[in-house]
Amino acid sequence: MQDYHSLELKYVRNSERLALQGDVQPDGSWRYIEPNGTVHTIAPERAKHFMDQTHAHATIMCAMLDKLRESGVMTEALDTEAQPA
């Protein structure tokens, strides 16, 4: 008598960066579906952490920009429009 075992390997590509470009789900996660059907997701906790970090960085950047303007070093407005990837 012999035992048989099957082993299956599966490659899964999940880009949290792409997921954040998709749609928010009822549970707070985000999901993006590529045209080829590949689904990318990010958990609600990870999405919240990303938003918290982005907010903290933006707050620091705004304070830096204010100081640059006040010192006269920066007189031009920065382009804040998102650039296509």
pLDDT in tens, 43-71: 999 999 999 999 999 999 999 999 988 99
The token duo for 55 is 């907010």
Is residue 80 within 8 Å of 65, Cβ to Cβ?
no
Largest CA distance in the chain: 85
Give a yes or no: residue 38 inside a domain.
yes
Q: pTM of the full predicted structure?
A: 0.64
Total of domains in the chain? 1
For residues 6 and 80, what is the distance between their CA atoms, to the nearest angstrom?
A: 53
Q: Which structural domain range is residue 20 located in?
A: 16-71
Percent of the chain with pLDDT over 90: 61
Give a yes or no: residue 78 inside a domain.
no
For residues 37 and 28, what is the distance between their CA atoms, to the nearest angstrom?
A: 21
**Where does the pLDDT of residue 85 fall: very low under 50, low under 70, confident under 90, or very high at 90 and above?**
low
